[in-house]
Structure 1
């Protein structure tokens, strides 16, 4: 078998130079920020994926567990609510829940007050895996930000939050399929 790694990814500077060559109206400062954020996001997702794999949990499982934790005790949501929060179709959510029930991360039961309604609940095992994943993620994130002072972290956090708000306000569908799942 030959080398399947391919050529290395261009540096940000090389990428921006190539873009400017092809598109003269490019603002290199904007492109540097956006490209750096994109690459950072991709690399962080790979790192989080490795951490989840250590816990025998997929990124998809982690997203469901996170949604349940964010819902607060007793860590329950309906499958439709989970699908909306994750931007999934109901069928895709059902498949994910089936797998997670088999893995012992969640339970799925009928609501005792409304037998038509189904409730997905985080198990103790699911919560323990989430806590271990948070511990791994916290160590990775501290290492990632080690070269920034507390003041720089605060400024960066504020700036990124402003960018996020801008995208959320101007691109309401950027979080996934939300409006068409009602």
Structure 2
């Protein structure tokens, strides 16, 4: 019989995640239980079940971002550059987009997007050419090297993600995925203007 996914499973996953490397020396983050208890002490109306889910998601997201950042760093690219590579790959062959489309997708200003493209073009990850059918329009295209970087990052991420979920059965993964997707849909409906980043992370 498949065991139901519960909070203990989620906490077990969190304990295996690396702590952020920029934490102050000697700093120890309170456990979820300690944090929730402190919140309840100061805010009587707190729902501890809701807070446990939200705080666990926040901590998991933070630790996953640290792990992904370390992986991309070993490939010589930043998380910001990875986001551009991902957007181009998701667009489909021939992996081309305009700077304006990319800026909107990533939630960046045109100036910030131009700066990022300049850097990536100098690294051979993308090319930037005038559109032959519209000389006013610029096209950003993924290079072979850029696609190889994306593929290698995906291979590394797949190993990390499989390890992250190793204690969950296929059914538990499905239940968790469905629950998180429902939460995501609710946020998307409530915040329709928050598709990309709201500030430049460069």
TM-score scaled to structure 2, two decimals?
A: 0.85
1:152 to 157, 166, 172: 172
1:76-95 aligned at under 5 Å gives the runs 76-95=96-115
Change (3 A) 1:4 1:152: closer
Measure how far apart 1:150 and its partner are: 0.1
User: Within the alignment, does 1:165 sit opposite 2:185 as a pair?
Assistant: yes
Tell me the secondary structure at the aligned position of residue 116 of structure 1.
Answer: strand
User: Partners in 1 of 2:197 and 2:123 — Cα distance?
Assistant: 26
Give the 4+ runs in structure 1 shifted more than 4 A: none
User: Within the alignment, does 1:122 sit opposite 2:142 as a pair?
Assistant: yes
CA-to-aligned-CA distance 1:106-150 (integer Å, 9 cap, x gap) = 000000000000000000000000000000000000000000000
Gaps of 5+ in 2: 1-22
TM-score scaled to structure 1, two decimals?
A: 0.94
Number of residues of Structure 1 aligned to a counterpart in Structure 2: 176
Tell me the secondary structure at the aligned position of residue 161 of structure 1.
Answer: helix
After superposition, the CA RMSD in angstroms is 1.3
Tell me the secondary structure at the aligned position of residue 9 of structure 1.
Answer: coil
2:77 to 57, 74, 82: 57
Tell me the secondary structure at the aligned position of residue 135 of structure 2.
Answer: coil
Given that 1:167 and 1:174 are in contact with CA atoms closer than 8 Å, whether structure 2 keeps it comes out as: no
User: Partners in 2 of 1:173 and 1:22 — Cα distance?
Assistant: 33
**Counterpart position of 2:61:** 41
**Which structure has the higher relative contact order (CA within 8 Å, separation 6+)?**
2
Given that 1:65 and 1:130 are in contact with CA atoms closer than 8 Å, whether structure 2 keeps it comes out as: yes
Measure how far apart 1:171 and its partner are: 1.1
Measure how far apart 1:177 and its partner are: 6.0
User: Within the alignment, does 1:103 sit opposite 2:120 as a pair?
Assistant: no
User: Partners in 1 of 2:72 and 2:66 — Cα distance?
Assistant: 10
Measure how far apart 1:174 and its partner are: 2.7
